[in-house]
Amino acid sequence: MTIEHTPAPARSDVRRPAATTAPTRPHARPFYKRGMLITIGAVAWGINSLVLGTDPSGAFEEAMSSLTSGTFQLGLLGLLTVLFATKALGDGRLARFFIRFEAGLLFFAIGSTVADGIGASNLDQPGWAMLDMFWPLSMLGMFFIGIRIAIAGRWHGKARFWPLIAESWGPIVVPTFGLFGSSVAGVVSFVHLCVGYGVLGQIVARKEG
């Protein structure tokens, strides 16, 4: 006796489950927000420098300068956290110490920025003058960090050398202010911030770790 098994015809009214797409990686760009903050702060402060110059006078100009430069400084703090997380300066204790030291300089510089913005600072007093010095010191520290990133080679491609371009703001803009005044320095600052930190922020935002 022969037994045949005929397969049941396929039902046309049953939909096949849709092919599932590969899940996107939610942490593919873990530094996106911090990178965007760097760019926004740099462009905002650059525009302020272009319009109002680099030597604000009066309550309005001081407030606008403090608001935009303070945003830029917060972006720098975000950048330091990225450098720390990726060991961009190296994985030794000295590299970690220098990033923490630079963060301390930036905290005091932000304090100076806030004091200027609310009109509380008085540069005729030694204490306020010393606090104000943390601004250029913090920018000088960022310049040395840019050099170290390029030497360490932990970041690759444009990311390796662009921090040095961005963080040369102090050595370029400060002498320009002394030689040519606030208006010319404002133009130079605007261009340098947009090309330097503005682009660096996008590099950081697209960095995958």
* Helix, strand, coil % in the chain, rounded to nearest 5: 70, 0, 30
How many domains does the chain divide into?
1
| pLDDT average, residue stretch 111-132 | 88
Would residue 73 count as lying in a domain?
Answer: yes
Q: What is the pLDDT of residues 86-108, one digit of tens each?
A: 999 999 999 999 999 999 999 99
User: What pLDDT is attached to residue 53?
Assistant: 85
User: What's the burial of 38, exposed, middle or buried (CB within 10 Å: 0-12/13-18/19+)?
Assistant: buried
53: left (phi over 0), alpha (psi -120 to 50) or beta: left
**Domain range holding 160?**
32-205
Residue 2 lies in a domain: no
First to last CA, the chain: 69
**Residue 131 covered by a domain:** yes
Residue 20 belongs to a domain: no
- Asked whether residue 181 is assigned to any structural domain, the reply reads yes
Per-residue pLDDT, 22: 47
pLDDT tens, 47-61? Answer: 999 998 888 888 898
Cα 169 to Cα 140: distance, rounded to the nearest angstrom = 9
pLDDT of residue 57: 83
Q: Is residue 7 part of a domain?
A: no
Structural domain includes residue 17: no
Instruction: Tell me if 136 is assigned to some domain.
Output: yes
